[in-house]
Each structure stands twice: as structure tokens, then as C-alpha cells.
Structure 1
Amino acid sequence: MPPIVIHHENCEATILPEIGFNCVAFRVWIDGEPIDVIDTTPEFLEGEGRPSGNGIPILFPFPNRIEQGKFSWEGKEYQLPLTPGHPHALHGFVLNRPWRVTRQGENFVIGEWQLSVDAPELEPHWPTDCRIEIRYAIKEQVLRSDIRIVNPDERPMPWGFGTHAYFKLPLGSSGAVEHCLIQAPAHKQWELEECIPTGAILDVPAEKDIRTGAYVSRTKMDDVLTDLRPTGSMLECVILDEQAGIEMIQACDPEFRELVVFTPPGRDAVCMEPYTCVTNAINLQQQGIDAGWQTLEPGSMYETWIEMTARRLIV
């Protein structure tokens, strides 16, 4: 299936159903200038490169890593396929696989993926069947993702969810990476050993404290932040291009409890990744640690949302 472009007045987005229902482009026109919010390499658009390294990868039924791909569930041991080049299983099942488009219109598209339907060869690696549906809709410079997670099985379904958006820097043609700041209301972080949480939660060190804003070029991160404190009914992460006078706001459901911030080396981009649970949560939870891991009863569904927009900086 070819890319799907949705649009509304002064914004548009491009989605690749064949590669994880990945939104690889979100463009907003501000005062006549096209602002590309999402970072995707030209190679990826030509069919090469990592699905986890471009656009907005969807992470389900677990985000980030499961240590060595191993876990137990209801007395049974499971071994996930390991991600090539890594000692762990990374980023779930759906980010590199075709999705089915169930509905679409001029300014929206809905995609669906189900384990038993779209990747039956992976069924032995997960305790139950699982299904995810995402609706991308665009309106008035806002790209909204409505996420629905469904348990189609007769047993309780374990799950976690996240996104891995790559945001392009700078935001405007007159901007510079050195003048771009990131901001998020994260007051704590998980202690990591080789990217796997130990279970301890620590204060954020001063050099990685982004609560009041920090310059991306001086803040090298690959960290799992927590103790997120929403403003009102939403959690907001911000990129501010102070030289171009443009800001990008990623708002999401306050039910998201972790935020991975990653500054990919050698690339003018930053990832701000909302998760419903921490890395390796399925194992941490069974050690008595509140890691955010969830189960969904048979026939039940969980709904959440993420929005992003770019706009002229309000001063």
C-alpha cells in the first residue's frame, strides 16, 4: 500500500501503513513557511533504514526493552525474538509490520494490527492475542493520535504502549540547533544499567533536568524520566526554537507515566517518547516494583491519546 497523506488547510501528515503505520511526516505552514515537525531520513522513505529510527514508531505490546527477551507469565516461560545486534527484545511487534487500513478520509486515517491476524508466527511468544487501533486525524495545525488497545482473547492480556517520535531540529529555516530547548515536567528518573532499569528511582541530575528548559546541544540524553506532573488535564513536552520563534508542543493523556528522552548522536533531532510503563516492566512488576505494567480483561479496551502541534512562539 502506498503512503497515505491526510491534510487540512495549512497542515498535512504522511503515514506508511506497510511499515508499522508510521507517521513519517507532519508539516505545518506558519506565516507561509513549511515547518517539518517529524524527522525521517530520505533513505527510510525509499525503503531502507530502521523503522525504529524514523518518524513516529509505534511500540506495542511493550515499549523499549524486555531484558534478554525473557519473561514469565502465569507460570509459563517466554522467549521473545531478540532484536538483531542487541542482547534484548526491543520495541514490541508492530513497528516494522504492515497494518490494515480500516477507514480513511481527507483528514484522517485509521489503522489496525492484531497479533493472530497480522503476525501469527509470533503468537507463541506472547501470552495472549492482542490488538491495537490508531486513528490519525489532522486539523488546525494539530496532529492527533487516538489509540485504542483491545483484548480479543479469552484470557487477561498483558501490555504496555509507547511512541518513539523523532522531532526535527531546528523548527524553522531561520533557527539553529544550538538555540533549541526541550522542556518536560519530569521530576525523577529510573536508574539504568546498560539501558535496563534496576528498579531504583533517582533525582534527575542537574545536567539532565529539563523541567524549566535545557538546550538540546548541551544535553545528551538516553534516559527514562518519571514522576511526570501534568498541567491540568494533559501532560506537555515542548521543543522551543527561540531563534526562529517557533515551538512544538506534544501533549498527551496524563495516564502516560514515563518519558524517554533520547538525543540521537550525529543527528539534528530529539526523541520525546511517552510510555504507559517503564522499560522491562513485565519483569519489574513481578519483582514487586510499580513499573506501570497493565493487564486488560477479555473483551475490554483501553483508550488514550497524543497530540502535537507547531506554532508561532507566544511571548
Structure 2
Amino acid sequence: MTPLIITDPETGSTARILPELGFNCYQFHAMVDGQCIDVIDSHPEFETGEQRPSSSGIPILFPFPNRIAGGRFKWEGTAYELPPETTYHDKTGNAIHGFCLDLPWRVIAHEENFAIAQFQLSIDGRHRLPCWPGDAFIEVRYEVKGATLRADFRIGNPGDTPIPWGLGTHPYFKVPLSAEGDPKNCLIESPATEEWILSDCLPTGDKQPIQPAHDLREGAWFDQLKADDILSGLPEDIDQYECLIMDEQAGLVLTQDYDSLFTELVVFTPPERNCICLEPYTCVTNALNLTEKALETGLRVLPPGSEIKTWIEIRAGKVIV
């Protein structure tokens, strides 16, 4: 596979993206005052397609993030099934991570510092189209500017029936942020005040105040986190959220800002890896099967012929004392 490379000409910050594998941005080298910060964690074999597409870089999860219980759901009175032969499943039989992280995307534009690609279900994943209530497309524009990697998302419904949708990203952030740092001296922060109660990685439908072991409001040390949690209860009446990794020993900070359309944050620490996933979601895991409980799941419906836009920014910098 041949990656797309985008570069900020002023600073030399670069990113590498694999259009053939879900338009995954699997490398971001951010230049901060002449220092190269290697931001994204990826397996060495990821570029050759020899690793799971959800295991490295920034997998894009659409039209549903995380899991759908048993690979089944009902929408407008019709039952849908996502069988293992068409969709990824976890070990317990849940469909996982959407339709577009493992298939080729169509590149629309590629200039020095940005690249745009699109995935449409009826064009690029036709074998999965019967698994969803209608057609959908997602377009992503990645741009490198200074020490920032920005993703702009455009999601559309080209069909003639309303469709449900959810979007998430699954970034693997390296910890620490430099060779001078130490995982024990890295703080993870998020403003979430609640968490979903989970059973086998699926929300039960209930939330609770965030528990001390998952509370990141004042920061938690990376080496003390063992997480696979869905955080919620983000501040209201603001237009964007922030989570971050602070490498105190190296004096560096990595910030992920995102549109308030992303109401949930999955925090996941992959076993035996010095990295952490801070995953913004527009809806909670298994939202399609929680609609009957009248919960605020974040699940959205896109009318025929309409579209919606959102964004995420990842930025490296020095700790300001």
C-alpha cells in the first residue's frame, strides 16, 4: 500500500495516511520548536496491511462507533443483521467499529499540506449496504498546519429515506511524548463527569457519576490507568471539548480538541502497549439498541439529501508554566 504524505511547509510537521485501509492517518510527526514529536502509535507492520485495521493509527468508525450487540438491531420496524462475513465482530459476537475502517477510500484531492477522501456505502462497501437502513457517505479532510493535525468530516445521506448514524475515531496516542519522558510521569485529562455502566463492553442503559478510578478531571497518571470506559456528562453550552496528555518530564502536552457534537469519550488503554486511546464519539456504543429506552444516546438521524459537518484537532506543544 502507498501512503499519502501531507506536510506543513513552514514547520516540517508531517502525517501519513493509508487511503487503501480506511483513510487511516497512522503517523503524525509534529514539529515543536524544532523538536519532532511522534504522536500516533502504530504497529510496524500496519503499513503493509498485516495488522488488524483497528489496531493502529486513527481508525474512522462510521456509520456506528464501537459495538452493535449481537450484530442486530431494528430500525423503523425493520430488522437488520450485520453478519461476521460482512462486518468485523468481537469475541462475543458483537458487530464492531463500523463499515469503513478496513476498505479503500476514494481520494478526491491531495495537495502539499492536505488530503481529502470519501467513502460511500453504495459505492465502496456495497456488500454492506443491506446491513444499514439506507445509503450514507463520509468525507474526511486531513490537514497539517504547524504542530496541528485537523480532521474535517462531512457526512451525507444521498438516499431517499432517513438514516441513523454515529461517528467516532479511535486514535492511539503514544505515551510518553518523547524519549526524555516516562509513562509514569504522564497525566491524562478529560472534563467528563459521568460514565456509562457497562456489561461485557455494552452499556446497560444507565449512567452514574464518574467513579474515582475513571475520573480524569484533575488528571490521572497513565501507569495507574487500566481503562475501557465510556465517559459522558461533558460540560453543556460550549461548542467544543478538550482532552489531553501531559508529559511532565518532557515538558510537552498533546491536546485533542473536538466539536461538541461528540458527546461521549471512550478511554481505552491497550494491554502491554505504551499508548492510550482517547476516542470521541457522537453517540454511545450500541445506541441503535438503546433507542426504545428513551435515553440520550447521541444517535442522530440524517434526512434524505442532507449533510452535516464536524471536526477534530490534535495539537502538540510545550507545557506552559
TM-score normalized by the length of structure 1: 0.98
Task: Decide whether the 8 Å contact of 1:284 with 1:290 is kept in 2.
Answer: no
1:203 matched to which residue of 2?
209
1:48 matched to which residue of 2?
50
1:17 matched to which residue of 2?
19
1:63 matched to which residue of 2?
65
1:123 aligns with 2:129: yes
Post-superposition Cα deviations, 1:261-314, rounded to whole Å, max 9, x if no partner, equal 001110000000000000000110133222111110001001000001111111
Paired positions, count: 315
Task: Decide whether the 8 Å contact of 2:65 with 2:166 is kept in 1.
Answer: yes
Post-superposition Cα deviations, 1:18-38, rounded to whole Å, max 9, x if no partner, equal 000000011012233211111
Task: Decide whether the 8 Å contact of 2:32 with 2:147 is kept in 1.
Answer: no
1:7 aligns with 2:13: no
Partner Cα separation in structure 1 for residue 156 and residue 194 of structure 2: 31
CA RMSD in angstroms, aligned pairs only: 1.2
| Secondary structure at 1:54 match in 2 | coil
> Superposition pairs for residues 69-84 of structure 1, below 5 Å?
69-82=71-84, 83-84=88-89
Partner Cα separation in structure 1 for residue 187 and residue 118 of structure 2: 35
Partner Cα separation in structure 1 for residue 206 and residue 90 of structure 2: 27
For structure 2, the 5+ residue unaligned runs are: none
Q: Which moved more, 1:57-66 or 1:83-92?
A: 83-92
Partner Cα separation in structure 2 for residue 173 and residue 31 of structure 1: 16
Q: Could you tell me which amino acid in structure 2 is paired with residue 56 of structure 1?
A: I
Partner Cα separation in structure 2 for residue 251 and residue 81 of structure 1: 35
1:110 matched to which residue of 2?
116
1:272 matched to which residue of 2?
278
Of the candidates 242, 251, 274, which is equivalent to residue 245 of structure 1? 251
Q: Could you tell me which amino acid in structure 2 is paired with residue 25 of structure 1?
A: Q
1:288 aligns with 2:265: no
Task: Decide whether the 8 Å contact of 1:230 with 1:236 is kept in 2.
Answer: no
1:30 aligns with 2:36: no
Q: Could you tell me which amino acid in structure 2 is paired with residue 165 of structure 1?
A: P
Partner Cα separation in structure 2 for residue 85 and residue 228 of structure 1: 28
Task: Decide whether the 8 Å contact of 1:191 with 1:200 is kept in 2.
Answer: yes
Partner Cα separation in structure 2 for residue 286 and residue 71 of structure 1: 11
2:193 matched to which residue of 1?
187
Of the candidates 218, 223, 230, which is equivalent to residue 224 of structure 2? 218
| Secondary structure at 1:207 match in 2 | helix
2:308 matched to which residue of 1?
302
Q: Displacement, 1:231?
A: 9.0
| Secondary structure at 1:286 match in 2 | helix
1:94 aligns with 2:96: no
| Secondary structure at 2:233 match in 1 | strand
Task: Decide whether the 8 Å contact of 2:18 with 2:47 is kept in 1.
Answer: no
Partner Cα separation in structure 1 for residue 137 and residue 39 of structure 2: 28
Q: Displacement, 1:91?
A: 0.5
| Secondary structure at 1:95 match in 2 | coil
| Secondary structure at 2:64 match in 1 | coil
Q: Could you tell me which amino acid in structure 2 is paired with residue 204 of structure 1?
A: I
Partner Cα separation in structure 1 for residue 89 and residue 68 of structure 2: 14
Partner Cα separation in structure 2 for residue 206 and residue 228 of structure 1: 16
Post-superposition Cα deviations, 1:146-181, rounded to whole Å, max 9, x if no partner, equal 000000000001100000000011101100111111
Q: Could you tell me which amino acid in structure 2 is paired with residue 269 of structure 1?
A: C
- Percent identity over the alignment? 50
Partner Cα separation in structure 2 for residue 308 and residue 53 of structure 1: 19
For structure 1, the 5+ residue unaligned runs are: none
| Secondary structure at 2:50 match in 1 | coil
| Secondary structure at 1:52 match in 2 | coil
Partner Cα separation in structure 2 for residue 155 and residue 249 of structure 1: 38
Q: Displacement, 1:78?
A: 0.7
1:263 aligns with 2:269: yes
Partner Cα separation in structure 2 for residue 165 and residue 6 of structure 1: 18
Using a 3 Å threshold, how does the CA distance of structure 1 residues 68 and 15 change in structure 2: closer, same or farther?
same
Q: Displacement, 1:122?
A: 1.0
Q: Which moved more, 1:202-211 or 1:242-251?
A: 202-211
After superposing on structure 2, the runs of 4+ consecutive aligned residues of structure 1 that deviate more than 3 Å are 230-233
Partner Cα separation in structure 1 for residue 245 and residue 185 of structure 2: 10
Q: Could you tell me which amino acid in structure 2 is paired with residue 71 of structure 1?
A: F
